[in-house]
Amino acid sequence: MRAELKSVCKCYSMADGTTMKALKDLSFRIPERSFTVILGKSGCGKTTLLRIMAGLERPSTGEVLGRDGGSIGVVFQEPRLMPWLSVRKNVEMVLEGDLDRAKKAGRVLTQVGLSRFEKAMPNQLSGGMAQRVALARALAYEPEMLLMDEPFGALDYFTRRELQGELSSLVKARGLTAVLVTHDVDEAIFLASRIAVMGNGRILSVTEEIDSESMSFEERDRLRESILASIENGG
Ligand SMILES: Nc1ncnc2c1ncn2[C@@H]1O[C@H](COP(=O)(O)OP(=O)(O)OP(=O)(O)O)[C@@H](O)[C@H]1O
Ligand SMILES: [Mg+2]
């Protein structure tokens, strides 16, 4: 699935009567089967952009094209599991009405390495396991597009590395179109087929196609430096 934002503005009315422009005339294309990673300072509009792409929020002006009919899976920064439901029921929740839901939930839980924890309750899981359940839930109804807002932000370095590897394989194996927001430049370089830097409600730069596996140490360093500079200059 592809998507395209055309001249999207998003304004919020603030309590003091002023208007906050979170997105400013933003145009951006998400090509089919790309893995786009969005980087940018806190408050620059990343979550707003993702929520608009997901259809959870509407632009004030401008339009979102593509997306027709296809389903979109969303993973938020926190796992957002229902504490009173088991791991499997949390995944089944999004498959309501599907007669195969138990089997499908079992399958995605196996894919994220949690088949032994199907019956566990959310409070018995570690942070990384809970985030895996959230990923399984987003994958369960076989979305064509996966949107993720700092899904590994709260995890330790090693767990994050492990989940990044799993996510990368899953996205490739399923031929998904993915968009991920992060603050971690190395995570961006590892996962992305292209990196977009945002600043102050706008897209400041988008890289060429990248493939971190085929990059030399020096190339990776240079890319990291240029992305950091772009974020820094973005205000
Ligand atoms: N519902 C809302 N009402 C009012 N202002 C909002 C709302 N949602 C976001 N904003 C404002 O829009 C701007 C962009 O917010 P957004 O959450 O998109 O930033 P972000 O880039 O995701 O930041 P972070 O990296 O901290 O998550 C911020 O100034 C924020 O205060
Ligand atoms: Mg955010």
Tens-place pLDDT, residues 147-167: 999 998 888 888 889 889 989
Cβ(65) – ligand 1 distance below 6 Å: no
Hey, what amino acid is at 76?
Answer: F
Helices (H), 70-216: 87-92, 101-111, 127-140, 157-174, 185-191
Q: 222: which residues sit within 8 A by CB, 6+ positions away?
A: none
State the pLDDT confidence band at 142, using cuts at 50, 70 and 90: confident
Q: How many CB atoms lie within 10 A of CB 84?
A: 9
Provide, rounded to the nearest whole percent, the portion of the chain with pLDDT above 90: 79
Q: What is the pLDDT of residues 49-94, one digit of tens each?
A: 999 999 999 999 999 998 777 789 999 888 999 999 999 999 999 9
Q: Whose CA is nearest to atom 30 of ligand 1?
A: 43
Q: Which domain holds residue 104?
A: 83-141
Residue 107 and residue 47 share a domain: no
How many domains does the chain contain in total?
Answer: 2
pLDDT number for residue 227? 95
Residue 167 and residue 95 share a domain: no
DSSP 112-135: TT-GGGTT--GGGS-HHHHHHHHH
In the listed set 141, 165, 185, which residue is the last one of a domain according to the structure?
141
Residue 162 and residue 123 share a domain: no
In the listed set 117, 141, 165, which residue is the last one of a domain according to the structure?
141
State the pLDDT confidence band at 24, using cuts at 50, 70 and 90: very high
Residue 66 and residue 160 share a domain: yes
Q: What is the DSSP secondary structure assignment for residue 27, as one 8-state letter?
A: E
- The alpha carbon of 87 and the centre of ligand 1 are apart by a number of angstroms equal to 31
pLDDT number for residue 235? 60
